[in-house]
Amino acid sequence: MSHFLTILCLFSMVIPASIANIFAYPVSKKLSVRISDYIVKVLAPRLFAILYTYRHFHFWGYEDKKDSLPENFILISNHQSLLDIPVFMKFFEGQEVRFIAKDTLGRHIPLVSEMLRAQEHCLIPRKAKPMEAMRYISDFGKRVVARKQIPILYPEGSRTRDGNVGKFFSAGFRQLSESTGLPVVVCALDGGWQLRDLRKLVTNLKNGCYRVKILRIYDSPTTKEECNQILEESRMLMQQQLEYWRKLPSDKK
């Protein structure tokens, strides 16, 4: 019964806003932005409230180091699932986050696609040449600085399949650092890799959890070597954090 109620609540939450934004986006950018803001500020936190109520699925957002965050910063994190998007929206409630992602996320994903386009997240064409992709990131970096938004980059470039932190790619991070000049905040998250597809979603949602934590804050890198060092250290910190979390029961913070 709880499984049915979860699906019912999620559909009743997702469908109206999705349909409204699908029709609004081609007609009125201003209206689509308002709907997208509602998705971020109201529906993203509500998603986890529904999952906790009916499936005992915990959201563990650790407040460590939040008081030490600079006013503006780049955020880098490991990447596990599409749910990473609402996770960071909830974790940074009250602040505007913007993601760097492949443009395929900007099409045919309920609740997400029109929101990403209307809010001008960085959607890089999958077939873009390296120089073209760097231009997208550079323009995006200047935009988020001007608007005091938080740019979020996944250095892995794609979602992990086994939950471990994958190889980091440095070009996008270096370009974002160069175009923004911002400090770097390193986060780890865990839980999404167990919810990658419908089978895993049905199996692992009940009594599961999603965890997100700030691990370290770096000054703005000024050289290629500093960027590479941040990435190398960050990957190690993330993997260590995941290994620690996986020793904990899902209902323990």
| Max CA pair span of the chain | 56
pLDDT band (50, 70, 90) for residue 147: very high
In whole angstroms, what is the distance from residue 183 CA to residue 230 CA? 11
Q: Is the pLDDT of residue 19 over 90?
A: yes
The identity of residue 47, as a single letter, is L
Average pLDDT over residues 31-60: 94
Q: Between 131 and 10, whose confidence is greater?
A: 131
Average pLDDT over residues 164-183: 97
Least confident segment among 51-60, 167-176, 222-231 = 51-60
CATH class label, 2-245: alpha beta
Q: With beta carbons less than 8 A apart as the criterion, state whether 201 and 195 touch.
A: yes
Q: Is the pLDDT of residue 198 over 60?
A: no
Q: With beta carbons less than 8 A apart as the criterion, state whether 4 and 49 touch.
A: no
In whole angstroms, what is the distance from residue 125 CA to residue 135 CA? 12
In whole angstroms, what is the distance from residue 84 CA to residue 79 CA? 7
* pLDDT (0 to 100) of residue 150: 98
* pLDDT (0 to 100) of residue 5: 82
pLDDT band (50, 70, 90) for residue 199: low
Q: Is the pLDDT of residue 240 over 70?
A: yes
* pLDDT (0 to 100) of residue 197: 66
- What mean pLDDT, rounded, does the chain reach? 93
* pLDDT tens per residue, range 95-104: 999 999 999 9
Q: What is the CA radius of gyration of the chain?
A: 18
Average pLDDT over residues 28-41: 96
* pLDDT (0 to 100) of residue 195: 83
The identity of residue 85, as a single letter, is I
In whole angstroms, what is the distance from residue 213 CA to residue 209 CA? 13
Q: With beta carbons less than 8 A apart as the criterion, state whether 153 and 177 touch.
A: no
Average pLDDT over residues 73-100: 96
Q: With beta carbons less than 8 A apart as the criterion, state whether 194 and 163 touch.
A: yes
* Beta partners for residue 59, in sequence order: 210
The identity of residue 137, as a single letter, is I
Q: With beta carbons less than 8 A apart as the criterion, state whether 25 and 32 touch.
A: yes
pLDDT band (50, 70, 90) for residue 207: confident
Inter-CA distances, 181 with 143, 221, 229, Å = 13, 8, 16
